A and B are shown apart, each in its own frame.
Chain A
Amino acid sequence: MARRPNLLAFLAAASLGAVLVFGATATLDDYVLSIIQFVGINVILAVSLNITNGFTGLFSLGHPAFMTIGGYVTAIMSLDPKRKPFLLPDLPEWLAASHLSFLPALVTGGMVATLVAVVVGFPVLRLRGHYLAVATLGLIFIVQGLAINLDGYTRGALGLNGLPELTSLWWVYGWMLLTLYVCWKLKHSSLGRTMLAIRENELAAACLGVRITRTRILSFALGAFFAGVAGGLWAHLVTLITPSSFSFLFAFQLVVMVVLGGTGSITGAALAGALLTIATEALHPVEEAMGLFGASQVLLAVAVLLVLVFRPKGLFGMAEPDLLAWVGKSPGREPTPAGSKRQREV
């Protein structure tokens, strides 16, 4: 029997977080703040990828494609209309003249990414396993290729620079809370259970009346929405977006975060995302002092390998460890569904 989400506990944690954010923005320097923001963005990405890959078991590598789409749309919407005709001469009149503030721009970016996910998802999500991986990988290259070559609309390889630095820790925190909340609600809802069922045994789920295609597209689209928003947040933090900002290598890094945390575990994905981002950054000074550039990536790769050797299901497997047990609520780990160990094809 699944535990009902404890809304009060969530709100308490959220307010605590808000206090921390307030303190951080007041005291920490720009560099540390930007790292924390990237941690937050990676958490959004890892958790939203968890919906697609973790809950529903789709081997999707497509997140960077949606980030590119979302990022570019947000950037185009938020750019000064005076600069647009000069930078992007082929943009239609109504787009060039429009200007949205940050929240609508982000949501627009996310919606466009979702739209593309739905359109692409209908044919592509019929594929399974590695075939789906290749198809979503192809999506990354297709989006990149279009962004590079349609330079009247996207400014090609140079990308869009001088974007207003609209992202702040509050924005990242807010979207992170939203993503976590949506995922949490999803996991404990019947839709979430449907997704998990599809992942565990698709045939059995179909026999029980689950609408497979619809659910797969929905989970793909939901992941794409948050990826698009994350792309917009990223673009306005770096103030630059180019076709190669989000590459297939980034897709692998995100999958690493999801797998490390445990596919299906929201806390796991969030923690792994945060840990990996912080660790990468923390190792930079070490690398520089030794003059061995690339050493930080080696160390992290070895660390990931070791974790996987000893805990092949990731840090938390499919469970959500009850971090709030100490607050005095009823403790207990969520029972892992029976037979969740991946069967070898026999």
Chain B
Amino acid sequence: MRTMLSTVMAAAAVIGLVASVPQARAADPIKIVALYNLSSGGLASIDGPSLNGAKLKMKEINDAGGLLGGRMIEITAIDTKNDLKEAATGAKRGVSMSGVVAGIGHSDTTFALASAPLFQAQGIPFVTSGATAPDLPGMIGDEMFMACFGDDVQAHAMAEYAYNTLGVHTVVVWTDNAMDYTKGLSKYFQDRFTQLGGKVLLNDIYMTEDKDFSALVSRLKANPDAQAVFASSGPDTAGIIIKQIREAGINLPILGGDGYDTDLISTVPGPDLSNDVYFTTHAYVGLDTGPANTFRTGYQTAYGVPPENAFAALGYDAMGLVADAIKRAGSTDYAAVTKALAETNGYEAVTGNIAFKNGSHVPSKPVAVMYVDHGKVSLKTTVTPES
């Protein structure tokens, strides 16, 4: 009995060994961890498309034969459920997975601050697709990279465009005090605007869940000298703000940041009211470049809808950036990939050309200034900041 049992066990062990060996010889997948708020909270409307974009890029690369001689990319998406604890534990789970080469994710600075330090501690590079605070790499470390421009860049671009091109010298500012992104954007805008000689007549505050802006609209009306409104807002309130300002009969130009990059700014107010709005965003809408077109048609084919907002393109670019770095590094060793990322100089992304110059991990990318005319969004100009 005992000998039969041990024979069976030995046979099983041998079979197991033999079966596992061919798997080890076949190409190991390149694992990427993607951390996004997919199932709850206001960020889900931008994180979902971000993940879709990243997966689209992964599919394109895999279909073209993979990286480093046939290795397929595998994205593990971890849902951080709009909860910082989930962001931290999800990141810990991500870094502990075997074969992880890099992490991407998050469209909000606070969540990046929860997840990225865990990658930093393990020396694994983390590329955020949409968290735009320019001091993020400084706060986290040298493994942190941004695929998007910093809020200072886009706010300065808007301030300059408003002052120099639109001739707006007095402005009323509305800031969403509940999001760090909007507070930062507002601050950078006001800094540059006043530096140029402009005057901020009123700095009004609201919170993200607010839906009723009648008090702010009334205070805006009480400032007849204002030549424009800079409403620093995320995607969930941008359309509502435009609607209520226009409904009150105020025809001042409305200025905003990349939080306006959603079709809600056209559909919620409706074509009559969605008018005379300028916003900065990651350049890709209206761009007729190769990568932008490939992205757009690919997204439509894969998901049945056009890209919902620029964050879909950013997710695509974050994945592409990492893949490009892996290719240049020629290996999946963390230090090599990080070095290759830091040396990125001219990666042709959908949202513009990504280059990390002078040791900065924030790319200097072009800012697109968009204009909304009766519901139709078009590109006004592209501003390329001097580095």
Contacts and interface: CB of A to CB of B under 8 A. Distances in A.
A and B in direct contact, judged by CB atoms within 8 A: yes
Interface of A: 29-31, 34-35, 38, 148-149, 156-159, 161-162, 234, 237-240, 242, 245, 281, 284, 287-288, 291, 293-294, 297
B113 A161 contact: yes
B76 A30 contact: no
10 contacts: A29-B96, A30-B92, A31-B95, A34-B89, A149-B177, A157-B110, A159-B113, A162-B117, A234-B85, A288-B76
B293 to A, nearest CB: 27
Given A30-B96, A239-B117, A288-B77, A35 B110 contact: no
A38 B78 CA distance: 18
Given A239-B117, A240-B113, A297-B39, A157 B177 contact: yes
Interface residues of B, number: 30
Interface stretch (B148-156, B178-186, B297-305): B178-186
Contacts of B117: 161-162, 239
Interface string B30-47: 000000001110000000
Interface in B97-121: 109-110, 113-114, 117
Interface of B: 38-40, 76-79, 81, 84-85, 87-90, 92-93, 95-96, 109-110, 113-114, 117, 139, 177-180, 183, 207
A294 B183 contact: no
Name the residue in B77, B79, B96, B177 with the highest tally of chain A Cβ atoms < 10 Å from its Cβ. Answer: B79
B260 to A, nearest CB: 19
Contacts of B96: 29-31
A20 to B, nearest CB: 20
A169 to B, nearest CB: 14
A162 B87 CA distance: 15
Question: Which label, helix, strand, loop or mixed, suits the secondary structure of the B interface?
Answer: helix
A38 B89 contact: yes
Contacts of A157: 110, 177-180, 183
Contact of B84 (A31, A162, A245, A287): A245
Nearest to B93: A31
Nearest to B76: A288
B89 A240 contact: no
A162 B139 contact: yes
Given A156-B177, A158-B180, A240-B84, 5 more contacts: A35-B89, A239-B88, A239-B114, A288-B79, A294-B79
Contacts of B85: 38, 234, 238, 245
B114 A294 contact: no
Nearest to A242: B110
Nearest to A250: B83
Nearest to A149: B177
B179 A34 contact: no
B79 A293 contact: yes
Nearest to B87: A238
A51 B51 CA distance: 43
Contacts of A162: 117, 139
A157 B181 CA distance: 9
Name the residue in A29, A237, A238, A294 with the highest tally of chain B Cβ atoms < 10 Å from its Cβ. Answer: A238
Given A35-B89, A238-B88, A284 B79 contact: yes
Nearest to A294: B39
B106 to A, nearest CB: 13
B180 A288 contact: no
A158 B180 CA distance: 5
B128 to A, nearest CB: 14
A149 B180 CA distance: 11
Contact of A281 (B77, B89, B180, B183): B89
B150 to A, nearest CB: 15
B31 to A, nearest CB: 13
Nearest to A298: B39
